[in-house]
Amino acid sequence: MKTNNTNLTERQELLLQYMASGLSVKEISGMINLSQTTVRNDIRKIMRNLGCINIQHMVAKAIISGTIVVTHID
């Protein structure tokens, strides 16, 4: 999944992929068996790492940089 060096963990990359797919924090936390607080904290860490101001910016930057690849858009 990772195509560049952003210093994100595998879990953070997975969260990015789920966020790009439009899943909510609640849905993601249920899928990967983590608390919603942990998911939110990881999202904040990703945003800080990528220098983003909000989730939309984070997802867009991850797609543009090649950190994640979107294979299906409805």
Output the pLDDT for position 6. Answer: 65
Q: Taking the model in full, what pTM does it have?
A: 0.80
Q: Specify the higher pLDDT residue, 4 or 51.
A: 51
- Is residue 30, in this structure, part of any structural domain at all? yes
Q: What percent of the chain has pLDDT over 70?
A: 88
Range of the domain at 28: 10-65
The total number of structural domains in the chain stands at 1
Is 53 within the bounds of a domain? yes
| Residues 35-69 pLDDT 10s | 999 999 999 999 999 999 999 999 999 989 888 88
In a domain, 42, yes or no: yes
Residue with tokens 């940089």: 65
